[in-house]
Structure 1
């Protein structure tokens, strides 16, 4: 049995979120939180820490899981909605700006 936690519409591009996700994949939940604490990409690290802590809280309430043995089984970031903006440029041209967002999913399972 696994615990699945999702965070939708994070205002960060999925490519950037995936770089941090790769750091904590297949690590113990306690080790993953320690790694994220000292990660350089702070905004993403804080969001992932809150997501993992939410999963641990769900596991604690269920009383079916040993919190010391929980592992970040799968963690991935999918593309979310994209905000489209226009930047005026020289000679009457316009460039499109795509502000990307992402959906992050974390699955905690017992080792």
Structure 2
């Protein structure tokens, strides 16, 4: 999708600080981090949100496995971390390309903010 910022990052049109990449998934550091570790995990295929995942698709599961691997690699697995997915406007989604935020490296209070 030509007007999607995450598609532009996946295509290499916009630079990113990559932390993980395979054939289906790209993960990069957020440019406006909300925690010492703030990584965005996106599928390379444009999917607007989690509701568009087909029940037979294992893409969501793969994204979570990548999040777990990155949490270990970043040294936040032991202390704890948060994985966030916002869905649609009222859910706080501002980029309509499925993505997970991996946050950690500090005490993450609940509710956020």
TM-score relative to the length of structure 2: 0.32
RCO comparison, higher one (Cα < 8 Å, 6+): 1
Computing the radius of gyration from Cα coordinates, the structure with the larger value is 1
Give the structure with the larger helix fraction. 1
Looking at secondary structure, tell me which structure has more strand per residue.
1
